[in-house]
Structures are given as structure tokens and as C-alpha cells.
Structure 1
Amino acid sequence: MDHKTSLTQHIKAPADKVWAVISDIPGSAATLSGVDSIQMLTQGPYGEGTRWKESRTMMGRSETVEMWVTQCEPPVPAHGGSAGGGARGGSTTVKALQGGADYTSRFALAERDGGTDLTLTFGAELVNPTRLSKIMMAMFGPIGMRITRKALAKDLAEIAAKAESL
């Protein structure tokens, strides 16, 4: 059983500035009000294999989840050398396993109208689901996804605010 949702936020900033925000894992607790703390598990620049523990409070409960980057394609600088030309595209995928579920978050950047559309696609899939977990997901999955979608929309708005302030 798989649950997915996708949201897009238009950001009045070039893709390279948006990328700078989403790839700044150590700084994400300062950017995202839903993130309580970050503990880096790997050193070096953001890329495939980057790992960290992220603590968030959702529905009044704090949880810490280990996350890692499985795919990373930074934006490509625009051609032509024009001042303020920005960058094009870019995407990254982050995974986490928690409570019997496999979570995937994919961020995709696309230039549009002098800014960047940041699309976040989030999915949750049960790992080795039991009959009971399937029933519980059918009953409570839609509620959980509504709560998750609201939290993701807030994250995107906060990413936009940070990128637009750079």
C-alpha cells in the first residue's frame, strides 16, 4: 500500500539559491520551524550518501529519523553568461525508514517566470505489511497524509522565504 502527495511552491529566486537552501542540511533546523534539530552523520558537501538524523515534532510528538540522500543532481548554470542568469533544473531524493514505513521525498526544481517552481513529492510505503498494518493504513492513512501535506506545505513556504531572502 503506497501513499503519495505532491506540492509545488513558486519561489521568487533562481534555482541555485533554492538549491542552496534545500541542500543546507545543517542549517535546516534554522530554516524549517518543524525541525527541532539536525545531527549530521557524514561529513562533506551535500550529495548521494549524505546522512543525518532529523528531529521533528508532529502531532505533539517528537521523533528522530535517520535520513539519507539517494539521488542528487544540482541545478545546471544557465548558458549565455547573462548577469543574474541563474540555473536550470536540479533534483534530489531523500529516503528514511521509520516505524515499518519507507519514506521518499523528492525535490525537483524548474525555472519559471523569473523564479523557480519547487515541487516536493512525498511517498510512504509499508515495508513487509501485515494484515493489521494494511487495515490501519487504509483507516488512518488518509488522515496522516492530510497532516503530512500540511506540514510539507509549511516547509515549502519556509524554504521559499529563506531562498527569497538570500
Structure 2
Amino acid sequence: MSHTTSITRHIHASPERVWSVITDVEGSAQTLSGVQSVQMLSAGPYREGTRWKETRTMMGRSETVEMWVAQAEAPRSTTVKALQNGADYTTRFTLAESSGGTDLTMTFGAALTYPTRISRLMMMLFGRIGMAMTRKALARDLAEIAAKAESPQSA
């Protein structure tokens, strides 16, 4: 059992500029208001296998999750994964050049890794509520990524 949601925003910046913002893992705490801190676990440039721990505030709670890059095709798409509390989380960023800028689509999915009757029931009961809150967080992230990419100071 899984839940997925997707949201797109047009950003007035090139795909390369947007790519540089979304792949700046170390700087994400300065870009995204929901991210409190990032601890890099691997060195080098952003690529498949890059790992970090991200502490994020959501619903008034702070939680640290280990994340990694599962796929990266600059400047077109990247997929970030995390496993936490019996769930497999996937966030995919897709960039498409459009109208002199970039359409950035974020797709977030959550799937149970070892579903039990109780976890399936909880997902059915609270999955939609969780996804509605996730859509709000994704929209905020997209707005903050757009602000950074469109900022003349960060170009």
C-alpha cells in the first residue's frame, strides 16, 4: 500500500540554475524553512550514492532522517530516498525547460516496507490526511526553491 502526490511550479530560472539549488544539499537548511540542519555522510559532488542526515520540522515535530540520492541526471531529474519507521519514502524532482524558465515537479511517495494489518489500517485512515499535509510542505519547498533560483544574489 502506498500514497503518492505530485505538484509543479514554474520557476523563472534556467534548469541549470534550478538544478544547482535542489542539489545543494549542504545549503538546503538556508533555502528551505522546514529543514533545521543537514549532516553530510558522504563527500564530493551531488551524485548517485550521496548520503546525508536531514533534520526537518513537520507538524511541530523535529525528526532526523538519513537520505540518499538514488538517481541523478543533471539537469533533468533526481530521485532521493529514505527509509524510516517501516516506510520507504521517495522524492523525485523533474525539471523541464518551459516558457523561458523551468517547470519543476516534485513527486513524493510513501510505501510501507513490511505492511501489517495495523499499518495498512493506519495508512488507510491517516494516509490522506498525511498526504494533504505533505502537499502543503511540498508547495512551500517549491516556493522557497523558486525564490532562491530566481534571486539575483544567488545567480
Which residue of structure 1 aligns with residue 42 of structure 2?
A: 42
Shift of 1:62: 0.5
TM-score (norm: length of structure 1): 0.91
Which residue of structure 2 aligns with residue 137 of structure 1?
A: 123
Q: How many residues are matched? A: 152
Which residue of structure 2 aligns with residue 12 of structure 1?
A: 12
Unaligned runs of 5+ in 1: 76-89
Which residue of structure 2 aligns with residue 123 of structure 1?
A: 109
Q: In terms of Rg, which structure is larger?
A: 1
Which residue of structure 2 aligns with residue 100 of structure 1?
A: 86
Q: Distance in 2 between matches of 1:9 and 1:38?
A: 25
Question: Residue 160 of structure 1: SS of its match in structure 2?
Answer: helix
Q: Deviations over 1:92-121 (max 9, x none)?
A: 000000111000000000000000000001
Shift of 1:161: 0.4
What percentage of residue pairs aligned between the two structures are identical?
A: 72
Q: Deviations over 1:60-114 (max 9, x none)?
A: 1100000000100002xxxxxxxxxxxxxx1000000011100000000000000
RMSD, aligned α-carbons: 0.5
The one-letter amino acid of 2:12's match is K
Question: Residue 128 of structure 1: SS of its match in structure 2?
Answer: coil
Q: Deviations over 1:96-152 (max 9, x none)?
A: 001110000000000000000000010000011110000010000100000011001
Question: Structure 1: which 4+ aligned runs deviate by more than 3 Å?
Answer: none
Q: Distance in 2 between matches of 1:70 and 1:135?
A: 29
2:138 is equivalent to residue 159 of structure 1? no
Question: Residue 66 of structure 2: SS of its match in structure 1?
Answer: strand
Q: Distance in 1 between matches of 2:35 and 2:139?
A: 14
Q: Deviations over 1:22-43 (max 9, x none)?
A: 0000000000000000000000
Which residue of structure 2 aligns with residue 52 of structure 1?
A: 52
The one-letter amino acid of 1:128's match is Y
The one-letter amino acid of 1:136's match is M
Question: Residue 162 of structure 1: SS of its match in structure 2?
Answer: helix
